[in-house]
Each structure stands twice: as C-alpha cells, then as structure tokens.
C-alpha cells in the first residue's frame, strides 16, 4: 500500500468531535525529513478534509531540541502554537507550568484510558488529566543494515557484540564505511542508549533511569564507553554535524554498511522504495533482543483563546485507529494504541509491534534516555555532554565514567 492509498483511506474515515469548525491549527514540529514529511501529510490531509487548516511551523533538528527552544520563545512572547510535537519529560515540564489544554472530553468519549499503555499515559496525563495525544511509539535500539553489504561479508546479521564487531570489520575490509552516523549529541546518545542496554536490563535501569552513582561510574560503565570508542573507529571522518537522515541515505545508497538509529530511519528506506528483507535488514542492537527502549511522539495542545474545537478534532484524528495505522506504516513507528491490527505493516513493522508487546508484558520496556523518556531534560543534556565529549576523544573511558557521575549529580 503506497502513501497516496494510505492517505485516501484515512480521508474516508470520520474523525469528528461535534460539528467541524473552520479553524486552523498551528503545529510546531521537527518532522522535516522526507519520510517524516510524508507521514505528517497523512494527518494534514485528514484535517483539511474536515475543514481545518494546517499552519505549518517546522523546526529542523531530529532530536527536537531546536523546536523546544523555539517553543520557549513563542510562549514567553505570549504567542503559543495551538499544537506542538513533544517528547517525554518535556511534556511533564510544560504541564507543570499550567499552560496546556485539557483533552479529557475527547479522551473519555473515545476510551483512551483503555487502549493507551500505562508507560505512555505517564507522559500523556498530568494530575490525572489528558493533556497530550500520543501519535506513535518509536523504539530506539535498532540497527539498519544494507542487505548487499551484509551479504558481501558472508556473515549473518549479528546477534552478539563480538559478531557485530566481526561484521563491521568485514565491511571495512570491503571498502565501505561500516557505520553511518551523524555527529550530533542526540545521535551519539542514541547509540549509547543501546550500548548500555546491551550490558543488561538491570544496568540500564540503574544507570539511565535510577541514576545510581555506582552504576554511572562503575566498571560496567567504563566498558560501555570502551564499546562506544570501538564503534567510533568505524565511522567516517566527515560525520560531524551530519543529519540522521543523511546517514540513513549512506546505507540506502550503498556507501555505508549499517546505521544504529530509531525506527524512524525505516521511513527513509521505504521512501527510497527499499524493501525489508530484500534491500535492508532490521535487527535489535546485539545484546538487547527482547528489550525495548522507547520514545513516543505526542501532540500537546496549549491552552489558547481560540481554536479549541480544532484542537479537539486534531486530537481525535491523531487517536483514530485508522490514522494510527496509516501514519505509522509510513513513519516507521508503531501505533500508540494497543488495538490497532498489524495487517498493513511490513516485516520490520510487525517485528516492532511484537517486540513492543513482548517487552511490555515481560517488564523489559524502558523509556529512552536519549529521547527524553527516562530522565528530565536537565539530566539528559548533562549525559549528552559527556557522551559526545568522549565520542570525540576528549575523555578516555575511565574519565568519562567519572565525569558522568559528576555531570548527573550537578544536573539534579
């Protein structure tokens, strides 16, 4: 099913909360890559079909930091957008400021409590009230591998750290960049998330969620930084500042062997007409099989003087099962609702939905530190600084682990 068919299917669905109003929603977001823009069009088309205009306010930057800076300036100036894409603890921080709208009417009417996992509701609600509509669940501990580059190594997709290094070494020997990466703090942290998780669920929880100083500064953390330094040796010299989707393009175009990135990367592969299992392989970061680090894009509605009906219509549209399927098929993520069938999803999408359900039922579903779902922004940014400084050679592994303890303590 192509994007046009998906949008046509969504346009047939009735997403209404009372009579449609001729209003606009101004939407601040950072979905600016080709695959992301294609997915966002699914929502734009639906709202336009209800007579609701879409005023686009894109702010480039895959981790959302630039968007949050722009948002702060808008709110300070008394000119908040009607809807904002937001992640994790950023939602909780804004909710605590008392500036968000209330979506309880829509949520009660459509039964959100029964279909949104508790791990997402933790961020979607404040003081028991719905203040955000979750669009999706992304999982971040993925590796995207060029099938042709993997086949050229004569090896299978890696399942352990040692196998991963063997594949990367073989790719390097074959004359391509083994690991496509963009030197931005959130991208470094995305790999770090997976490396820490690969050293054990308990270690991830202790260090990235509970912020235990012994875990943050101990021998296992030194090992995590050693592994980061090893991965750095497979990255090309021009990685600094590269956007994540350009790193994806390196794999798509055969210039690189693999990328360690969340499942939004799949949208870039699909947009390039690449097929899972034929052109690329999707695996969990070796050592993290059965566990999932997640983030969830949510649309937060600000408390504005006008546009409330349009906000509610947008929230209802976002949570409609037909939209949740259509959007996430294109985006690469999986639905935020647990009752959406997987029939329209490709092999990687089906695997993502199954992995999420399995991790949730087995207590192995963890909020991603790198994407604002395990710790508040101040702590996340402190971890970013240390991880990126180490990745760029400013610290050795032992010094990085020691500095991590200091940075987190200072940020709390």
**Which residues, including other chains, have CB under 8 Å from residue 234's CB and lie 6 or more apart?**
168, 171, 172, 177, 178, 179
**Which residues, including other chains, have CB under 8 Å from residue 329's CB and lie 6 or more apart?**
1, 6, 344, 345, 346, 349
Q: What is the pLDDT of residues 115-144, one digit of tens each?
A: 998 889 999 999 999 999 999 999 999 999
Which pLDDT belongs to residue 130?
A: 97
Please state, for a pLDDT cut of 90, what percent of the chain lies above it.
83
Question: Maximum distance among all alpha carbons in the chain?
Answer: 63
Specify the DSSP element, H or E, that contains 195: helix 185-198
Specify the DSSP element, H or E, that contains 44: helix 34-49
Residue 66's alpha-carbon distances to 116, 147, 246, in angstroms, are: 28, 34, 18
Which pLDDT belongs to residue 307?
A: 67
> Where in the sequence of the chain do the CATH 3.40.190.10 domains occur?
3-139+295-355, 142-293+367-411
Q: What is the pLDDT of residues 146-170, one digit of tens each?
A: 999 999 999 999 999 999 999 999 9
Q: What average pLDDT does this structure show over 183-211?
A: 98
Please say if the pLDDT value at position 6 is more than 90: no
Please say if the pLDDT value at position 308 is more than 90: no
Q: What is the pLDDT of residues 350-391, one digit of tens each?
A: 999 999 999 988 999 999 999 999 999 999 999 999 999 999
Which pLDDT belongs to residue 39?
A: 86
Please say if the pLDDT value at position 245 is more than 70: yes
DSSP 393: T
Quote the pTM value: 0.87
Distance separating alpha carbons of residues 347 and 275, to the nearest angstrom? 9
Please say if the pLDDT value at position 12 is more than 50: no
DSSP 235: B
Q: DSSP labels for 73-113?
A: HHHHTT---SEEEEEHHHHHHHHHTT-B---HHHHHHHTGG
Which pLDDT belongs to residue 174?
A: 98
Could you tell me which CATH number the domain at 3-139+295-355 has? 3.40.190.10
- Three-class SS of 135-172: CEEEECCEEEEEHHHHHHHCCCCCCCHHHHHHHHHHHH
Evaluate whether 198 touches 161 at the Cβ level (below 8 Å).
yes
Q: What is the mean pLDDT of the chain?
A: 92
**For the ranges 18-27, 54-63, 395-404, which has the lowest average pLDDT?**
18-27
Could you tell me which CATH number the domain at 142-293+367-411 has? 3.40.190.10
């Amino acid at each position: 099913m192509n994007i046009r068919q998906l949008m046509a299917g969504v346009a047939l669905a009735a997403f209404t909360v009372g009579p449609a109003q001729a209003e606009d929603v101004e939407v601040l977001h950072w979905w600016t890559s080709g695959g992301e823009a294609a997915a966002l069009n699914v929502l734009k088309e639906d709202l336009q079909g209800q007579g609701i205009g879409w005023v686009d306010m894109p702010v480039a930057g895959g981790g959302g930091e630039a968007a949050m800076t722009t948002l702060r300036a808008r709110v300070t100036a008394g000119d908040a957008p009607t809807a904002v894409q937001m992640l994790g603890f950023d939602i909780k921080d804004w909710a605590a400021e008392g500036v968000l709208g209330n979506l309880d009417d829509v949520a009660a009417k459509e039964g959100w409590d029964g279909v949104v996992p508790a791990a997402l509701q933790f961020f979607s609600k404040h003081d028991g009230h719905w203040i955000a509509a979750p669009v999706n669940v992304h999982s971040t501990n993925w590796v995207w591998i060029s099938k042709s580059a993997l086949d050229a190594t004569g090896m299978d997709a890696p399942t352990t750290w040692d196998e991963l290094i063997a594949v990367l070494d073989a790719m390097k020997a074959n004359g391509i960049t083994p690991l496509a990466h963009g030197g931005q703090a959130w991208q470094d942290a995305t790999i770090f998330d997976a490396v820490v998780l690969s050293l054990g669920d308990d270690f991830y929880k202790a260090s990235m969620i509970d912020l235990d100083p012994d875990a943050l500064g101990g021998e296992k953390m030194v090992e995590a930084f050693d592994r980061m330094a090893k991965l750095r040796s497979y990255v090309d010299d021009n990685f600094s500042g590269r956007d994540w989707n350009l790193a994806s393009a390196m794999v798509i175009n055969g210039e690189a062997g693999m990328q360690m990135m969340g499942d939004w990367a799949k949208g870039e592969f699909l947009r390039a007409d690449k097929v899972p299992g034929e052109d690329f392989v999707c695996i969990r970061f070796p050592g993290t099989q059965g566990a999932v680090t997640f983030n969830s894009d949510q649309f937060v509605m600000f408390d504005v003087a006008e546009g409330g009906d349009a906000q509610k219509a947008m929230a209802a549209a976002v949570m409609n099962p037909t939209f949740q399927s259509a959007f996430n098929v294109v985006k690469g993520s999986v639905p935020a609702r647990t009752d959406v069938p997987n029939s329209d999803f490709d092999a990687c999408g089906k695997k993502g939905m199954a992995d999420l359900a399995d991790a949730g039922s087995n207590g192995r579903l963890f909020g991603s530190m790198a994407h604002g779902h395990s710790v508040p922004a101040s702590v996340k940014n402190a971890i970013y600084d240390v991880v990126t400084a180490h990745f760029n050679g400013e610290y050795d592994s032992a010094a990085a682990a020691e500095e991590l303890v200091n940075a987190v303590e200072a940020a709390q």
